[in-house]
Chains A and B, each alone.
Chain A
Amino acid sequence: MPEAEGVTQPNPTPSAPALSHEQHIARMIRQQGGRGDALIEVLHQVQELEGYLSPAALRQVASGLSLPLSRVQGVASFYHLFRLKAPTPHRCAVCLGTACFVNGGADLAKALERRLAVRLDDAAGDGTWALQHVSCLGACGQAPVLVVDGVMQTRLPVDAPDALQQRLTEAGLPPAAATAAGEPW
C-alpha cells in the first residue's frame, strides 16, 4: 500500500525545469489520453505528487477528464486509500487483519494509541503523528505487524510490554508523552 512505499514525498524532477503541480497534473491527464475511465489512475498519481487530493487538484482533474466535479469528488471520497486532507508528517499503520488480530493486533493498536496519545483512525492525529488501521498487509506469517513511515515492523512482542516499547522506539516512534498521567482516555 502507499504507506509501505513511502509515497508522501513529492516527486523530484531532476532533469526537466521544475514544473508546478498544476503542470504535472496536466501532464498526467494527457498521458491517460484524457479518458474518464482513467480517473482512479490519475487520482493515484495526483496523490503521489501532492500527498493528498486537494480541492484545486480535484477541480483540475474534473475539467481535464471532462467529468463533473461531483463524479470526481464521489470517486475520491469512496475509496479508502484516497486522502482528502494533507497527511501528518509521520504516520503509523497497524494491521488489524485476521492473522494479526489473532496474534494480538488489537492490543498492539491500544499500545500505540497510548504511546502516541492519538486515536486510531483519526487522520489529523496530534498534528505530527497519526495512527491508522489497515485491513491486511499480507505479511500474515510475520504477525502482528505495523508500518512506521513506510517501513514494516514484524513479529512485535505484544505480550512483553518492555520489549514492545523498545521495538517501537527502534522503529522511530516518539517516547510516550511524559506529562500524561495515566491513559488519556
Chain B
Amino acid sequence: MVSAAPPLRIRCCGASGCRSAGSEALQQALEQAAAEIAAAGGAGAVPAIKPVGCLRLCGRGPLVAVDRADGGSELYGGLQPQQAKTLLQPQRQALASAAIATDHPFFSLQQPVVLENCGRVDPGSIDDAIAHGSYVQLRRVLEGVSPEQVREQVKRSGLRGRGGAGYPTGLKWDTVALQPPGPRTVVCNADEGDPGAFMDRSVLESDPHRLIEGMAIAAYAVGADQGYVYVRAEYPLAIARLRLALKQARARGLLGPQVAGSRFALQLEVRVGAGAYVCGEETALLASIQGQRGTPRPRPPFPAQHGLWGAPTLINNVETFSAVPAILRRGGDWYAAIGTASSRGTKVFALSGAVRHTGLVEVPMGTSLRTVVVEMGGGSPTGRAVKAVQTGGPSGGCIPAPLLDTPVDYESLLALGSMMGSGGMVVMDETTAMPEVAHHFMRFSRNESCGKCLPCRAGTVQLEQLLARFVERRARPDDLARLEELCTMVRCTSLCGLGQAAPNPVLSTLRHFRGEYEAACRDPAICEPHGACRLPAATSPGGEP
C-alpha cells in the first residue's frame, strides 16, 4: 500500500489575535475530527493539522487555511469548533459564508519579505523552520563570508531601522563593528509599546527562528558574543515561543560556544519588561536590561559606542533583524530595488480602527496610504467617510483623508507632521473628534513619562489639562496659542524621544484639523464650522474578501 500524501493540509492560526477569537478550541476540534477520520480507517486521507502563526486578516479570526492536494489554498474565518468536521470534508460549500477570497487586494497587494514564512511555518518546531530555510544564511556566512561582506550587503540593501526612527542599519552596524577591540552586545528591541501596533508580536509568535537567525548574523557582523531580546511583558505568548525557539537553537548548536560548528560563539537571552512604554527608548531599554528603572540618559555617547555595561551595543528592532536573512539570501541589491529611493524594501503595518479588514499587511515602501487603507483595508466598515489615518502611535500624527495619496515612506510622513513609527496604522472615521484623539495620546504620554526631565514630566500634565478644555468645549481663544507654545517647548527641551514626540499628535491635528479646535472654544463668536477636512465616502473597490 502506498502511503499517499495527505489530501488536505490545514494550517491553524495560533497567534494572539486569533487566540483571542477562539482558535485554540477550533484547532482542538480539528485535531479530533482528523483523529476520527483516522480511526474510521481512511489512512491515506487523514488531513494534517498544523499550528502556524499569523494568517494576516486578524479581524476575521480565528483563521484557518486549507491547502488542497492540487496546490490550491482556501482561507476561512470565524469558524466555530462544531464546523471542524465540515472543514475536513472533500466538499466545503457549506462553509462558503466563512470563506475569504485570497485574491482580494488585502492579500494580493502584499509583498511578504519579513513575513514570508509567517503563517506557513510551525512556530514551535525548529525542524519545520529549517525545512523552510531558516539558518541557511547563518551557516553560509559562518562558512565563508567575512563580517565586512555581511555589513556591505546590509548597506547595499538600504535597510533602515524599522522601530520608527529610520536610522540606516548598515551604518549602525559599522559604527559598532569599528569601535576599539573588546566585547560587544546585540540587543533586539521587542518592547512594542505603541497602542495599535502588533507587527513585532506577530513575528515573534509566528516565526521566532527568523529573528534568532537575523540577530546571530548581526552579532557575527559586528563581533558580538552575547545578546538580549527585550520583550514587553504584555506579550506572554511571544515570550514563551521565543524562549522555546532559543532552547531549540541551543540544543541544535545554532547558539552557544560554537555556533553551527564554527569558532563564532553567541549567547542569546530573553529579558522581559514590566510595563513601561519609555523602555522602547534605547537608553532606557538598556537600563531596564540591567535591572534598573527604565529612565533614558542623554546621548551621546550612543549605545553603539557605550551601551550595555559600557560595551558597544547594537540595538535593532524585531522587524529590522528579521529582514536580514532575506537580504543575505537574495542580495542587498534585490532588497534595494523594492520601495522608494530613500526608503528601501518592505514595511509591515498593523491595520486597525475604523477599517473593514483589520490585520497585518507587508507592502513595499512608497505604497500610498489610500492603497493600504481603502483598497486593502476596504475603508470604513460602516460606510462612513474615512477622516484620518493615525501613524506612529503616540509619537506620530493624523494624516487627513485628502492627503491619502501620500506614499508611505519615512520622509513623506515626516513632511506631514506624522512619522513612520513602528507600523501601527489606525483608521479613524468622521465620528472621531481630533481634539479627543490628541487628548487620548497626551493622556498616554503623561502616564508613560518616566519623570526624569521636567519638560516631559510637567509638560504632558499641562498639555493634557489644556486639551481637556477643548474636549469639554470650554477652551478660550488664547488656549490655542498656549497649546502651541507649550507643544514647542516640550518638543524642543525634553530629554528623550518620548517627550520630544509627545506633542506630535497635537501639532499634527492642529495643522490638519484646526477648525475642530477653534470650534471647541467656549465663545461661539469665534467658532468655525468643523469638519473642514472631508472626503466622499470611501469605497472598497475590491469588495469583501
Distance of A16 from chain B, by nearest CB (Å):
23
Q: Are A142 and B274 in contact (CB under 8 A)?
A: no
Q: Are A38 and B272 in contact (CB under 8 A)?
A: no
Among B198, B234, B273, B358, max chain A CB count under 10 A is at B234
Alpha-carbon distance between A2 and B428 when the two chains are bound, in angstroms: 30
Alpha-carbon distance between A152 and B325 when the two chains are bound, in angstroms: 35
Of B219-227, B283-291, B518-526, the one with at least 4 CB within 8 A of chain A: B283-291
Q: Are B354 and A154 in contact (CB under 8 A)?
A: no
Of B16-24, B171-179, B364-372, B486-494, the one with at least 4 CB within 8 A of chain A: B16-24
A14 at the interface (CB under 8 A from B): no
Please report which residues of chain A, range 34-79, place their CB below 8 angstroms from some CB of chain B when the two chains form the complex: 35-41, 43-44, 71, 74-75, 78-79
Residues of chain B lying within 8 A (CB to CB) of residue A1: 233-234, 236, 275
Residues of chain A lying within 8 A (CB to CB) of residue B277: 135
B195 at the interface (CB under 8 A from A): yes
**Do A101 and B17 contact each other (CB < 8 Å), given the known contacts A4-B236, A36-B291?**
no
Q: Are A141 and B353 in contact (CB under 8 A)?
A: no
Please report which residues of chain B, range 119-146, place their CB below 8 angstroms from some CB of chain A when the two chains form the complex: none
Q: Are B294 and A5 in contact (CB under 8 A)?
A: no
A136 at the interface (CB under 8 A from B): yes
Alpha-carbon distance between A4 and B236 when the two chains are bound, in angstroms: 9
Q: Are A79 and B196 in contact (CB under 8 A)?
A: no
Who on chain B is nearest to A42 by CB?
Answer: B291
Q: Are B291 and A79 in contact (CB under 8 A)?
A: no
Residues of chain B lying within 8 A (CB to CB) of residue A145: 20
**Do A138 and B235 contact each other (CB < 8 Å), given the known contacts A78-B276, A79-B275, A101-B440?**
yes
Alpha-carbon distance between A98 and B441 when the two chains are bound, in angstroms: 8
Q: Are A39 and B291 in contact (CB under 8 A)?
A: yes
Distance of A50 from chain B, by nearest CB (Å):
16
Who on chain A is nearest to B424 by CB?
Answer: A98
**Neighbour of B193 across the interface among A99, A135, A139, CB < 8 A:** A135
Alpha-carbon distance between A114 and B353 when the two chains are bound, in angstroms: 25
B208 at the interface (CB under 8 A from A): no
A143 at the interface (CB under 8 A from B): yes
Who on chain A is nearest to B59 by CB?
Answer: A141
Residues of chain A lying within 8 A (CB to CB) of residue B424: 98
**Do A41 and B272 contact each other (CB < 8 Å), given the known contacts A98-B393, A140-B58?**
yes
Q: Are B17 and A99 in contact (CB under 8 A)?
A: no
Alpha-carbon distance between A28 and B108 when the two chains are bound, in angstroms: 50
Distance of B278 from chain A, by nearest CB (Å):
10
Mask: chain B, 424-438; 1 = CB below 8 Å from A; 0 = not: 101110001000010
B511 at the interface (CB under 8 A from A): no
Alpha-carbon distance between A96 and B354 when the two chains are bound, in angstroms: 15
Distance of A47 from chain B, by nearest CB (Å):
9
Q: Are B275 and A139 in contact (CB under 8 A)?
A: no
Among B59, B193, B233, max chain A CB count under 10 A is at B233
Residues of chain B lying within 8 A (CB to CB) of residue A99: 195-196, 352-353, 358, 426
Mask: chain A, 90-121; 1 = CB below 8 Å from B; 0 = not: 00000011110111001000000000000000
Q: Are A78 and B291 in contact (CB under 8 A)?
A: no
Q: Are A140 and B196 in contact (CB under 8 A)?
A: yes
Distance of A98 from chain B, by nearest CB (Å):
4
Among A44, A134, A135, A141, max chain B CB count under 10 A is at A141
Q: Are A102 and B20 in contact (CB under 8 A)?
A: no
Q: Are A135 and B195 in contact (CB under 8 A)?
A: yes
Residues of chain B lying within 8 A (CB to CB) of residue A134: 234
B91 at the interface (CB under 8 A from A): no
**Do A44 and B274 contact each other (CB < 8 Å), given the known contacts A142-B21, A152-B20?**
yes
Name 18 extra pairs, CB < 8 A, besides A136-B198, A141-B60: A37-B289, A37-B290, A39-B292, A71-B292, A80-B276, A81-B275, A96-B195, A98-B195, A98-B196, A98-B353, A99-B426, A101-B440, A106-B440, A136-B195, A138-B235, A140-B198, A142-B17, A154-B20
Q: List 21 interface pairs A-B (beta carbons < 8 Å), by A numbering.
A: A1-B233, A2-B233, A37-B291, A40-B272, A44-B233, A44-B274, A74-B293, A75-B292, A78-B295, A78-B450, A79-B276, A80-B274, A82-B274, A102-B426, A102-B427, A135-B447, A136-B194, A136-B195, A136-B198, A140-B358, A154-B21
